[in-house]
Structures are given as C-alpha cells and as structure tokens.
Structure 1
Amino acid sequence: MASKLTARPPRFVLLAAFVFIVILLSLMFSSKRPYVNDFPARTNPLEFGTGLISSISDEAPMADETGTERLAYATFLTATMANLDDPNDEHDLYFIATRILAWQILHSPVTATNRSIPFLVLVTEDISESKRERLTMDGATVVPVEYLREGTDWIHGEMPEWRDVITKLRAWQLTEYSRILFLDGDMILTGPLDDIFDIPAATPASTIRNEDIQISDEESPPPDKYVLASIAEVNPVHAPNPTVENGDFKDPDYFNAGFFLFSPSQPLFEHYKSIMNIPYRFDPRYPEQNLLNYAHRPEGSMPWQDLGSKWNIRFPNLDDLASGVQSLHDKWWHPHMDGRLNEFYQEVRWRMEGFYEAWDQGIGFE
C-alpha cells in the first residue's frame, strides 16, 4: 500500500497546477496585444428573414470613426449534424468542434487573437439553449439566424446533412463588421490567424464591369466593391506547401468554402440569393461552396483572390502540420487522411476542456 508521501495527488491539486500554467502563459501572451478591435459585443440578437435590424447599413464600413476596423472570426452551427433525441451536448461532435475553435481563437496562448477580434457563432433555431449558453460562457458571440430555404427545393447536397449549409450565406448580412474570416467548425488551429487580414488578397476589389462580362438579367446586380478571398482545394494526397506545378490542387481555380475571408454586404447577399433561386445555375452537390465558386469564378465580374496555402489545408497530414500551416480543415474526432494526427487533435480537445473547467470554477481572466 502506498504511503501518503507517495500517493497520487488529489485531482484538484493537478487541476490547480494545470490552471496556473494556462493562466500564466495566457497572461504572457495577452499582455502583448497592441491592437484592440473595440466594437461592442452584440446585446440583442439579429432578426433575420425579412432583413436586418434598421440600424445596420447595406454595406460594411472598412473602419469606424476612430479608424479602427470591425473585424471578426465566424463559424456556423446547425443541428442537422446532431441527434436531436440525445439531450447530452457532449455527444454533439460539431458542437465540441465549435467549442474547440472558440477556445483556440479566443484563449489559447498558442493560437488566440492578439487583436481582441471577436468570434461569432451563427446558430440556427434548432440549436438548444444549453449549447447557446455554453458558447456564450466560452466567450463566443452567439448570432441567431433563420434557415435560408426559400427557393432551395432544387438544392440537394451530396450528403443529407448538408441540406442547410446554404444558410452560411447569412454571414453576409452581418454588416456591422467590415471583414470576417469564416471557418467551418471542423477546424484545428496551429497558430494565430490575425495577420491574414493584412495581406493584399484580403482587401476590397472592384467589381469588373465591361462588355466582355455579361451578368444575367435573372441575377441581381453585384455591388461595386467586394472582398472574397480563399484557398484552392488540394487533392487528398498532396505535398507539404502545395503548388500548382506539383499538381497538388484539384483545380487551382476552385476554392473550399470552409475557409474564406469576406466583407459583409446586403446587396451581395441579395445577389447570392438571386443565383440560389435559379435552378441548376450551379452544381448543388456542395451547395454554398459551388454557389460561391460560381459567383466568384475567375472569368466573372468578381473573381476570388488567393490567400495562399500557408493559412489552411484540406485533407491534412502530419507533414502539413510539420510544415507550419496555420490551420487544419479536419475533424478532431476522426482524421480524414492521416491517423497520426489523432494524438494532436485529442491534446487540443482536452486542453480546451481543462481550460473551461477551470474557467467555470472561477479561475480565469479579469
């Protein structure tokens, strides 16, 4: 029998030690934040469906009266991926993924924003109140949205649970923000993403209007300026730091809508809706992704801009992680291509759980 001197320390002692280290590291990083995105947190939910509340303009300003941009990170959470008969929130893998993303963007000393950029979670009506409260406690800004279903009867994604991903387009109605980096929930960060807002591809571009580019009369006119930047989707098997020359991309002109930077705009939202309501204007296999790729095709009036593969990779492998890519588009519970990543994913997940367990006990930040 082990003596008291050699017995395992009580659980609360281990937790306290872990919390002390997390807080110490976090304070070290947070003390180095020179930029503050000081747009106030939302106090009232937006009511979607018939338009935004009247105080929101059609176009997002690039800066407020102080010259400070209103930047944001955002993701989308719907219940179409969850078992609504299961009351245990911990069994909803995409909900856990969203919590991981919130922790990484807002709190992790390795990946958190250095500019106090808020993290928005667009939630549909079937996301439970307990999940909304948990995300709010985690530091996220919960944004209720209505499903975007009118005129979408012809849209059937490759998988049944993708039927409502087109609702991601509601993000373009968040015109109180100037630019937003949108990330799908199944994303693991390896480093901070703030600097992505500073690269040329992430700045406004002028819509091309000339006789060589015809816009269908069935589509509403696009705005004069827009921001849409993303990354070409790689092949499942690819080299680290993928290149066109190496044949690493499925199609260098086709981007993945799980990671993109944009500027909210009500006219652009209406333009997307007009496209959505034209049956088979785009391939509905990947609904919102193919709509956006059509609207921002390279030969069109609003070509998308390339952010560069250092920021995100689809179908990641261990070599991608070692190469320094800033985020991995993969499921924390099931690596798609490389099982060796599972240990890293689980470490991130449990660091998140440990942080919030301490947070809930009142051991957190001022």
Structure 2
Amino acid sequence: MITPVKIRANQLTIVAATVSACILLFTFFKIAPHSPSAASSISTQIPLFTAPPVRNGLKVAYASFLSTRVTNESEYDPYFTASRVLAYQLLHHPVTKTRDNIPLLILVPPHVSEHKRKILASEGAQIVPVDLLLPDTPWLSPATDRYDDQFTKLRLFGLEQYDRILYVDNDMLLTRCLDPIFDEPAVMEVQTTGADPASIESDEAPLPSTYLFTGVSDTGGGDHPFPPVEGDDINGGFFLLRPDRALLAYYKSVLNIPNRFPSVFMEQSMLTYAHRRDGNMPWRAFEMGKWNTNWPNEKDVEGGTATLHDKFWDSLNKDWIDRKPVEMWWRMQGQMEGFWQGKRE
C-alpha cells in the first residue's frame, strides 16, 4: 500500500507521482479507461506501488492466472475456488505459506467479475488487470475451449518491476513452502542467447541478448515413475521467468505467424517452440519430482514433490487419478473455507 503523507507537504510531487503511476498502469497493462472492471480494479493494483520483497538480491513474486467465464455469481466456478485455495496455500497455510512475504499476483482479463476480484484481493492476492493476449488473425485451434485465453499469462513477461516470477496454474496442491525455489542455480543464472543462424527466422522479432526461462516437462500420465522422466516439451502450468519486454515482443511475433507451432496446447506449445532445446534460447528444467509434477500420484506425494498439478475436483478424472492427492486437495479446500469462515466470525 502507499505510505500516507500529509497533503500540505510536497503537493506537486504527490500529484506528479500519481500521474506517473497512472501512466505506468496504462503502459504495462493497457487498461481501457472505459472498462468498468478495469477502472474499479485500479485500487487493488498493488504490485506497481509496493517494493517487491528481495531474495538473494532479486525482486521476486508468485503469480497465477484466472480467466473464468462463469458470469453468474451464484454458479459454481471451480477455477475461482482453485484460485482461492492457491492463495490460501501460498499466503496463509502454516505449512506451505511464504516465509518471505512474497506476493501472489493474479492476472485477470476484463471479463473476470469485480466480485471475484474483490474476494481474491481481500484474501491477500494482488490483482493485476490485463487485456487478453491473442493473435492478430484467428488461426489457433486449442484442444478445448478452456484453453482459449491461455496466452494472456505471458503478459507476466512485461512486469519488469520484478526480477523473477514463479508462475503456477491455479489447480495446484502444495505440500511445502516454495520460497527456496528462488535459490536454485537455474533461477539465479541468466542465460546468454545463442547465435545459430539456422535457428533465426527472418519473420520473427529479434531475440533478446539474454534470457531466463526454467520449467518442468509433462510427465505423460498418472502411471509415471518417481522421479518422472524429463522430456523436451514444456508444461505451461509451472515455470519461472525473468520479465523482459523484448522477450514478450518475440513471443507476440511468433504468436502472429499462423502454424509456426502446433496450437493444440496453446501457450505451452509456443514456449516449447521458442525455447526448443536445439534453438538459440533452450529452456532449463528444474530437477524432476522436486518442485512440480502433473498427473500426480501417491509416489510423488511420498517423494516430497512440492506442488502437484491436476484438477482434483473433476469427477471425470476418477477412472485414472490417484485418490491420495485428491483427498489431500479436498482437505486443503476445507481448511481454506474454515480459515476464512473463522476470520468472518
């Protein structure tokens, strides 16, 4: 929050700072002045006004993305509930919460209701209103409608007031505090972009001279071993990045080239292309099974994986999903509800 000041002192400086902050809002997030959702969310636009916490000399944050299109507030919205559970785990749960007061940023496009934004903000998340990120011409063919907005999470790369951001999808179950991930060598060490002419496409934007992108690969299914075997494809639900608007411009240029990458899995397919292992910006992987696993099973729980990624609430998963993490999820959701019920009472 902004530190209170006396109006009599430095009035011109305060006005100038306010104007600068407004300009920064429009520059970073392109908030439409006529949008009721955007205008009413400016008061929760905390990341632009607070000094980010510093770990190892780096300004860090957690981030997630909510793009629910459930407009009836009385209708059950599993992804909104999942965002609340994630915020509870990262900010309040005694075992999994941040010890360094690292903020949780939640990107929300204009169609996410003000009601949902206010609840998430009241529970500790920092709401970041953003425009949808879409190609200039509609060529994408996602595997499912719920993938439609997923490129919007890449707007995190424009938040250059942070040095490192850990992105986690909202359907994530935590087993321990994630703060130490910012100590990993693959998080601390910036990579130098290669210059192989064969990997440079003339119709794409220039590559930045340096970059940092560290993630995990897909495990391929619920019957994987522990630790899972590392693959070449990036999983778009858990990655750590260094914000860089030049890199964001490169991503946008790739997005605007029809069929440059297979669009079935949207942003993770594009990231796998942009950071392909034989390209000029190969991605680095966290140790498999240490920080994140998707399609989680009981072996991942026993092995101490920090985050388990799945839609634990979805009854359609019952034929294959391991019951251990499902039971853990429902307990965590119950603890979240009980925590806030206690606060209200």
Quote how far apart the aligned CAs of 1:180 are.
0.3
Quote how far apart the aligned CAs of 1:66 are.
11
- Is contact 1:207–1:225 with CA below 8 Å preserved after alignment? yes
Quote how far apart the aligned CAs of 1:261 are.
0.2
- Is contact 2:164–2:240 with CA below 8 Å preserved after alignment? yes
Quote how far apart the aligned CAs of 1:350 are.
0.6
Q: How far apart in 1 are the matches of 2:54 and 2:299?
A: 45
Match of 1:345 in 2: 329
The structure 1 segments of at least 4 consecutive aligned residues displaced by more than 6 Å after TM superposition are 63-67
Write the mapping of 1:4-43 to structure 2, written as runs, cut at 5 A. none
Other structure's SS at 1:188 match: strand
Q: Which amino acid aligns with 1:331?
A: K
Q: How far apart in 2 are the matches of 1:126 and 1:296?
A: 31
Which of 1 and 2 has higher RCO (CA within 8 Å, sep 6+)?
Answer: 1
Q: How far apart in 1 are the matches of 2:55 and 2:214?
A: 26
Change (3 A) 1:115 1:151: same
Quote how far apart the aligned CAs of 1:46 are.
3.2
Write the mapping of 1:298-309 to structure 2, written as runs, cut at 5 A. 298-309=277-288
Match of 2:187 in 1: 202
Q: How far apart in 2 are the matches of 1:66 and 1:349?
A: 29
Match of 2:344 in 1: 360
Q: Deviations over 1:164-216 (max 9, x none)?
A: 11111111111111100000111010111111111111134333333454311
> Are positions 1:318 and 2:303 aligned together?
no
Q: How far apart in 1 are the matches of 2:115 and 2:186?
A: 38
Structure 1 vs Structure 2 CA RMSD: 2.4
Q: How far apart in 2 are the matches of 1:133 and 1:51?
A: 20
Q: TM-score, normalised by structure 2?
A: 0.81
Q: Select 1:227's aligned residue among 198, 212, 218.
A: 212
Match of 1:329 in 2: 309
Which sections of structure 2, spanning at least 5 residues, go unmatched?
1-20, 32-51
Match of 2:66 in 1: 77
Other structure's SS at 2:218 match: coil
Which sections of structure 1, spanning at least 5 residues, go unmatched?
1-42, 53-62, 244-248, 362-366
- Name the % identity: 38
Q: Which moved more, 1:160-169 or 1:344-353?
A: 160-169
Change (3 A) 1:66 1:284: closer
> Are positions 1:163 and 2:148 aligned together?
yes
> Are positions 1:240 and 2:226 aligned together?
yes
Q: Deviations over 1:11-59 (max 9, x none)?
A: xxxxxxxxxxxxxxxxxxxxxxxxxxxxxxxx8793368869xxxxxxx
Q: Select 2:112's aligned residue among 84, 108, 127.
A: 127
Q: Select 1:297's aligned residue among 276, 299, 302.
A: 276
Match of 2:100 in 1: 115
Q: Deviations over 1:223-250 (max 9, x none)?
A: 111110001211212112223xxxxx5x
Q: TM-score, normalised by structure 1?
A: 0.76
- Is contact 2:135–2:255 with CA below 8 Å preserved after alignment? no
Q: Deviations over 1:286-310 (max 9, x none)?
A: 1100100101001111110111121
Other structure's SS at 2:25 match: coil
> Are positions 1:139 and 2:124 aligned together?
yes
Q: Which amino acid aligns with 2:74?
A: N
- Is contact 1:122–1:144 with CA below 8 Å preserved after alignment? yes
Other structure's SS at 1:258 match: strand
Count of residue pairs the alignment pairs up: 299
